[in-house]
Amino acid sequence: MSENLYEVKELFFSYSLGKQKIEAIRGLSLNIPTSALVTISGPSGSGKSTLLNILGLIEPAQQGTVIFQNEDIGSMGEKRKNQIRKFQIGFIFQQFHLIPVLSAEENVRYFLSRQKLPKNEIEERIEESLQAVGLWEHRMKKPSELSGGQKQRVAIARAVAKRPHVIIGDEPTASLDQKTGCEIMEILANLVAARKSSVILTTHDAMVQSFSTQNFHIQDGRL
Ligand SMILES: Nc1ncnc2c1ncn2[C@@H]1O[C@H](COP(=O)(O)OP(=O)(O)O)[C@@H](O)[C@H]1O
Ligand SMILES: [Mg+2]
C-alpha cells in the first residue's frame, strides 16, 4: 500500500473550443501524500482548476493515470466515482455555494442527509463540524446574516461533516480579505493536524501557500 493519497502520472487534459484545442494539462506528474495541506499555485490559466477537477473526480483524465488511495480512477465506473465523491471528498468553493434559504445548521444537515446515517449521528456530526469552525453559536443564521468568512466556515463545516479523506478547494480564500482568509487557513491547517485528513487548494496567494506542507507550482499545464 502506498502512503500517497494521489499519484498522478503523465496527465494530459484538453478542452475543445469549436475547432480549437486548448491543452490545459500537458504531461503532469505528481504525488500527493496523505495528511498534508497541499497548495497548487500558478498564474491564471495555468491549469490549476482543471487539475483540481480531475482530482475531485469531476473531470476524467484524457491521458495518463490518476491513482486515488491505490485505486485507478480511470478504471472506476460512474457508481464507484459517485460513491467516492459522496463519502470521501469534501468540496469548498470561492463563492461558498451555500443554500440561501437554509440556516448554517440546515446547510450542513442538508448535505449529510444524502449519506443515510442514523439520526443521532447526523446531529452529532453537525455539532462537531460547526464547533470545529467556531460557528456553533451562529448555527441558526442564514447565509445573508453571515460575513464572507463565516459563510466559508459553514462550507468547511459542511465538507468536514462528511468526514472525508480529502477536502478540495478551488481558491477558497480568493473572495475574502487577508485577515479572514488567514483565519480560514488556520481552520483548515488545524483540521489536517487533528484529523489526519488532507486538504488540497489552488491559490494565487502567498499567504495561503505559507500554510502548506507542500506546494506545487504549475505553469502552462506542467509542473
Ligand atoms: N470549460 C473550458 N472550455 C475551454 N477552455 C477552458 C475551459 N476551462 C478552462 N479552459 C482553459 O484551460 C486553461 C486552464 O484553465 P484553468 O484550469 O481554469 O486554469 P487556472 O485555474 O489555473 O486559471 C486555460 O487556458 C483556460 O482558458
Ligand atoms: Mg482556476
pLDDT tens digits, residue range 136-189?
A: 999 999 999 999 999 999 999 999 999 999 999 999 999 999 999 999 999 999
How close is the Cα of 53 to the center of ligand 2, in Å? 10
Q: Is the beta carbon of 1 within 6 A of some atom in ligand 1? A: no
The CATH number of whichever domain residue 118 belongs to comes to: 3.40.50.300
Residue whose CA is at the smallest distance from ligand 1 atom 12: 24
Domain count, the chain: 1
Residue 140 within any structural domain of the chain: yes
Residue 26 within any structural domain of the chain: no
Residue 73 within any structural domain of the chain: no
CB 204 within 8 A of CB 171: yes
Task: Give residue 38's pLDDT.
Answer: 97
Residue whose CA is at the smallest distance from ligand 1 atom 1: 15
Question: For the residues 52-81, what does the mean pLDDT come to?
Answer: 96
Alpha-helical (H) ranges within 14-147 are: 48-55, 78-87, 104-112, 119-132
The set of cell numbers assigned to 47 is: 491549469
Domain span holding position 105: 34-58+78-217
Residue whose CA is at the smallest distance from ligand 1 atom 4: 15
Atom of ligand 1 nearest to the CA of 53: 17
**Could you tell me the pLDDT band of residue 195, with boundaries at 50, 70 and 90?**
confident
Q: CA nearest 92: which of 18, 205, 185? A: 185
Task: Give residue 89's pLDDT.
Answer: 96
pTM for the full model?
Answer: 0.94
